[in-house]
Structure 1
Amino acid sequence: MSQNIDSQHKPRFDFGKYKGIIISVALFLLLDASVLLFNFYVSFEIADDAVGVNLAGRQRMLSQRMAKTLFVLDASRDDPAGFKTAFDELQLSKGLFDETLNGFINGGVVRGAGKEVVTLEPVTNRLGKDSLQNTLLLWQPYKSAVEQLTTDVQNNLPYESSLVAAVTMARTHNLAMLSSMNDLTVSLEQVAASKATRLRIIQTVGISLAIINFLFIMFHFVRQLRDSDKVIEKARRETTEILETVNEGLFLIDKDLILGEQHSARLVDVLGPQEFAGKSFQALLENIVSEKDAETARGFIELLFDPKVKEKLIGDLNPLSLVEVNIAQSNGGFLTKHLQFSFARAYQKDDDGAQKISHVLVTVLDITEQVKLERALNESRKHNESQLEMITGLLHTHPGLLKEFIANSFNCFNRVNNILRQPAKTSQAVRDKATSIFREIHNFKGEAASLKLDFFETAAHKMEDTLALLRDKRDLSGNDYLGLTVQLESLISYTQQVEHLTEKLGQFAVVSSNSPRPVNNKQVTGSRRSDGWERLEDFVQNIAMRNGKMVKLVASGLSEIDLDSEYQKKLKDICIQLLRNAVVHGIETPRDRELSEKPIVGRIDLRLAKVSETEMELTVMDDGQGLDYDAIRSKALSSGKWPEDEIESWTNKHLLGLIFHDGFSTAAEVNKDAGRGVGMEAVMNHVLAQRGKISVSSRSGRHCRFVITLPIVHTNSSEEIAA
């Protein structure tokens, strides 16, 4: 019966009472969010329009520049240096003008004003399309005349007539083209202006609705405050009772930082049993916080008693907003808690009726459980992020390749474990462990990178950091490998989670294997089977993007030879290392390639060919800068491994051999893709292990080619490797 009575008198949340406020606040937030999202959307569109306006303006400048350059060419026939400078400028201006004009008409990627790559959408408004059509009609004969001039000059043919024709076209077409480009600029500006006007209208409407909604909220609050005034007197009489039942530690301190006579009962539970009344606040803090924090808190409270200082302005200066304290226990031990002190001014009317600061109200909260919960939530969030990253990586990886990767990973971990367990009787043997493990982890990282499994790649890179420290340590011992063992165990545990998750996603794997794989425009040329070779394209593009380069991979013959599965994996490892080397060290940045008069997109050719019944030839060639022998020589000098006079006498052939040395790299800094000096050494080890041959040829500024001859080891079964 008593339970029913208690249940009937238990206070309940009256949703109807606050329904209007809740709905108003929700509408207010919805309006703000809607206006904000629309602002973002239109702002991005206006930003894109601004790019178009800028490029349209550049078109006018390029038109003027071409006409001016043609006049300079006409006047510089007897000045070879001036003629060449004007001719180069004419080619550059013509190319930019034609590229940007096509971008406006058909859309696409063009070079911006600062040499950056920007994307243009096709112009769709009528005025803009008409102006572009007029410009195209004028540009086509103009362009033909310039190209004819270019052909004559480059082929050392008589160019006087073609120059006259080009100058004539400039005189007759330049002003008309300028007018059309002006019309294009005006049309683009009109589109941007209309979007800005629409944005202002939406903002005005949204703000107006938000103000009306805010006034409605204020009306509800004022009405509730009026009702609250009726219970203030009753609440004041209940202050003493509340002080006994409140869950926070409450007390007052005066200007001398002395605690008042009253405090909440909860204060004893928070700070432990002691005499609080009349105690100095400094004495209260001295056993639970540092002396520096106690002194800072004293200065903070003195500011609270200064009426010239606004309380809100110094709220963030509270040094005791979160402190970890150790409370002495009766059994001689200590109880660790997390406390939160907050301070608020207490006012009292003086004889003249003016408000003055009489005390500071101190609230002490035991937030130990909250801190523990936050830490647990942070750990849970990190775990969830790790799981999400895992799932994201798995979803874009083909199940067959993922299964193969997991199996290869466990094999790698077993080999690393065996290396760690092998007894090492000499200091050199202990150091050799780091080198051997380095090779295994580097190959593992390459395979993870080729599958775009970022977590595994990052984990392997961190292990390489640890191994690099071990390799460079002077007094290396077996105990120094304990940290690496912990990293390896963590990686094994994560791999087991991935394996478990892939088993749960078995249905997805079945569907994926039975369904036709989507067409991938980035597939490696020549791959006829889904045996994992096609992942090299994504691998190359990944590294190129990280290093700010543009690369095209052209491959052939990769799936034409049946190989043993383990042997095929080693061949893929070689390809991964050579492709990474070509992207990082060979291919130049788009800007450097442009300055060298090369296409901004570098090219890497990867070819596997059968040269006899027992031998095959792997060729990796890039059209980059070639081997930098000066950099290799400089790196050899800085390593201190060889005498300086000996290095100076080395030929390029001798220097070339250094790239296969353990720990040798010309990279300026260590990152995920370079700087370890392990990749090329791993290639050499693979080749030597198979009794193969490797040759390198390089031409400065033009290319670098690796040719590897290996024996053919046929597969033992007719089953192809699932991709």
Structure 2
Amino acid sequence: MDKQKYAIFFPIILFIVFDISALLINYWISDSLSKSALTINLAGRQRMLSQRISKSLLLVKLGPTDTEKQTARTELKTAIQLFDNTLKAFEEGGNTLDGDHKPVFISAIKPSQARQHLAQGRQLWTILQPSILLSLDPATSTATLLDQAIKNTLQHNLALLESMRQMTLVLEQEANRKIQLLRLIQSAALVLALLTFLYITGRLIKNKHIASKNNQALNAVFNTIETSIIIYNEAKEIIFSNQAANQLFQYPDGIPNRLSINNILTFHKSSPIGHTRRGISFPIKIECQKNIFKGIPSVICTIHDVTKQKEKEENLRKIAFHDPLTGLAKECA
């Protein structure tokens, strides 16, 4: 019995484990997609910021009005700070601003190829950033420094743009590879869960067939017994009767299941009574014992018709106390 329980409960536990694993992997995939999408979006924004820096720097020098030059200067400072913060976050992990200018944490970039392109971008940025900041600082800003900053930007901006583009491409490829791997693991977990479910279903069907055969065998044994057997549950509803009981209580098609035991039996300690389907009462001898029948707490009763025994006892009593010739009581004879 313990082996049978182990054979069914262990696969159920495995099914639950595989199912939970699939759900966790699904959550992991969603979380990974979200983080990868954020990193890729920010990497793409770095390309846009490098172009904005070039454009704003040119407008600082060539803007038609002082207002436009001042606006370009402000945009340039913002773009430089955002580009630099995001670059540091890619390198070491840290906070930056997302597309809605809300603080967001990103982890350091791990793929080696992406870090190579990131290092190239950092090298170029190390050349560009100081010259641009010097040209914007009111204390050091001169036309010569501005021209030098523009020259450096025109010389290195395309390379910076390309390094950011390559980094974004590698991140996209890495994200796709990771998602494919996670989905493969998820599919494997789902397949294992399905196979386990099919195994459990097969075991349950097999156990049901075995239980059905056992019940049939048990019923056959009960039906070969000449003693009447009736089994009822805690609600006093009959759940089994053998052929001897069906004949005794005159139910040719079998005593109906769920029929109340009180319909056919009257329990008296001294003289219990049985009642046939047609309402005929007769004396019985009954012995009942609580037990488990087909997994249900039940009461199993064996019943004997003692009508003939009562008649014999009555005849013996008459013989003992009455004169056989006159029929009168002996003390009166």
Structure 1 segment 617-632 matched on structure 2, within 5 A = none
Structure 1 segment 344-423 matched on structure 2, within 5 A = none
1:635 paired residue number: none
The residue identity in structure 1 corresponding to 2:113 is L
1:58 CA displacement:
0.9
2:135·2:141 contact (CA, 8 Å) conserved in 1? no
CA–CA distance in structure 2, aligned partners of residues 218 and 190 of structure 1: 41
1:461 paired residue number: none
The reply on whether 1:201 has 2:184 as its aligned counterpart is yes
Structure 1 segment 96-495 matched on structure 2, within 5 A = 96-152=82-138, 155=139, 159-230=142-213, 231=215, 241-242=232-233, 244-245=235-236
CA–CA distance in structure 1, aligned partners of residues 92 and 145 of structure 2: 30
1:516 paired residue number: none
TM-score w.r.t. the length of structure 2 is 0.62
The residue identity in structure 2 corresponding to 1:197 is Q
CA–CA distance in structure 2, aligned partners of residues 264 and 48 of structure 1: 67
CA–CA distance in structure 2, aligned partners of residues 133 and 244 of structure 1: 81
1:243·1:264 contact (CA, 8 Å) conserved in 2? no
For 1:9-37, what per-residue CA distance to the aligned partner results, in whole angstroms no more than 9, with x for missing partners? Answer: xxxxx333332111111111122223333
1:382 paired residue number: none
CA–CA distance in structure 2, aligned partners of residues 245 and 90 of structure 1: 89
1:228 CA displacement:
4.0
CA–CA distance in structure 2, aligned partners of residues 25 and 32 of structure 1: 10
CA–CA distance in structure 1, aligned partners of residues 57 and 148 of structure 2: 10
CA–CA distance in structure 1, aligned partners of residues 234 and 96 of structure 2: 72
CA–CA distance in structure 1, aligned partners of residues 212 and 40 of structure 2: 61
CA–CA distance in structure 1, aligned partners of residues 197 and 76 of structure 2: 62
SS of 1:123's equivalent in the other structure is coil
SS of 1:124's equivalent in the other structure is coil
Cα distance change, pair 130–264 in 1 and its aligned pair in 2 (3 A): farther
For 1:61-113, what per-residue CA distance to the aligned partner results, in whole angstroms no more than 9, with x for missing partners? Answer: 1111111112222221x511111111111000000001111111122222222
Cα distance change, pair 167–202 in 1 and its aligned pair in 2 (3 A): same
The reply on whether 1:30 has 2:13 as its aligned counterpart is no
1:64 paired residue number: 51
CA–CA distance in structure 2, aligned partners of residues 212 and 172 of structure 1: 62
Q: Which has the higher contact order (CA 8 A, sep 6+)?
A: 2
The residue identity in structure 2 corresponding to 1:241 is Y
CA–CA distance in structure 2, aligned partners of residues 199 and 90 of structure 1: 41
| Structure showing greater Rg | 2
1:243 CA displacement:
7.2
For 1:183-224, what per-residue CA distance to the aligned partner results, in whole angstroms no more than 9, with x for missing partners? Answer: 111121122122112112212221222222122112111112
The reply on whether 1:19 has 2:6 as its aligned counterpart is yes
CA–CA distance in structure 1, aligned partners of residues 230 and 179 of structure 2: 57
The residue identity in structure 1 corresponding to 2:191 is S
The residue identity in structure 2 corresponding to 1:112 is D
The reply on whether 1:82 has 2:62 as its aligned counterpart is no
CA–CA distance in structure 2, aligned partners of residues 194 and 185 of structure 1: 14
CA–CA distance in structure 1, aligned partners of residues 170 and 40 of structure 2: 9
1:60·1:181 contact (CA, 8 Å) conserved in 2? yes
1:263 CA displacement:
8.4
CA–CA distance in structure 1, aligned partners of residues 152 and 259 of structure 2: 95
CA–CA distance in structure 1, aligned partners of residues 127 and 80 of structure 2: 13
2:134·2:141 contact (CA, 8 Å) conserved in 1? no
1:145 CA displacement:
1.7
Structure 1 segment 571-650 matched on structure 2, within 5 A = none
Structure 2: gaps of 5 or more residues = 224-228, 238-257, 262-333
Q: How many residues align?
A: 232
The residue identity in structure 1 corresponding to 2:133 is E
CA–CA distance in structure 2, aligned partners of residues 227 and 28 of structure 1: 23
CA–CA distance in structure 2, aligned partners of residues 137 and 52 of structure 1: 21
CA–CA distance in structure 1, aligned partners of residues 107 and 65 of structure 2: 42
CA–CA distance in structure 2, aligned partners of residues 33 and 17 of structure 1: 25
SS of 1:114's equivalent in the other structure is coil
CA–CA distance in structure 1, aligned partners of residues 112 and 185 of structure 2: 26
2:330 paired residue number: none
1:127·1:183 contact (CA, 8 Å) conserved in 2? no
CA–CA distance in structure 2, aligned partners of residues 186 and 208 of structure 1: 33
SS of 1:245's equivalent in the other structure is coil
1:145·1:165 contact (CA, 8 Å) conserved in 2? yes
2:37 paired residue number: 50
CA–CA distance in structure 1, aligned partners of residues 102 and 2 of structure 2: 57
SS of 2:105's equivalent in the other structure is strand
For 1:98-133, what per-residue CA distance to the aligned partner results, in whole angstroms no more than 9, with x for missing partners? Answer: 111111112222222222222222223221111111
SS of 2:13's equivalent in the other structure is helix
More helix by share: 2
CA–CA distance in structure 2, aligned partners of residues 158 and 176 of structure 1: 26
1:42 CA displacement:
4.7
CA–CA distance in structure 2, aligned partners of residues 158 and 21 of structure 1: 81
For 1:628-675, what per-residue CA distance to the aligned partner results, in whole angstroms no more than 9, with x for missing partners? Answer: xxxxxxxxxxxxxxxxxxxxxxxxxxxxxxxxxxxxxxxxxxxxxxxx
1:162 CA displacement:
2.4
Q: Percent identity?
A: 29
SS of 1:89's equivalent in the other structure is helix
Given candidates 58, 61, 78, the residue that maps to 1:92 is 78
CA–CA distance in structure 2, aligned partners of residues 17 and 136 of structure 1: 65
CA–CA distance in structure 1, aligned partners of residues 54 and 152 of structure 2: 9
CA–CA distance in structure 2, aligned partners of residues 244 and 103 of structure 1: 72
Structure 1: gaps of 5 or more residues = 1-13, 247-261, 266-723
SS of 2:96's equivalent in the other structure is strand
1:159 CA displacement:
3.4
CA–CA distance in structure 1, aligned partners of residues 260 and 68 of structure 2: 91
Cα distance change, pair 199–54 in 1 and its aligned pair in 2 (3 A): same
CA–CA distance in structure 1, aligned partners of residues 145 and 230 of structure 2: 101
SS of 1:110's equivalent in the other structure is strand
TM-score w.r.t. the length of structure 1 is 0.30
SS of 1:47's equivalent in the other structure is helix
1:40 paired residue number: 27
CA–CA distance in structure 1, aligned partners of residues 141 and 180 of structure 2: 57
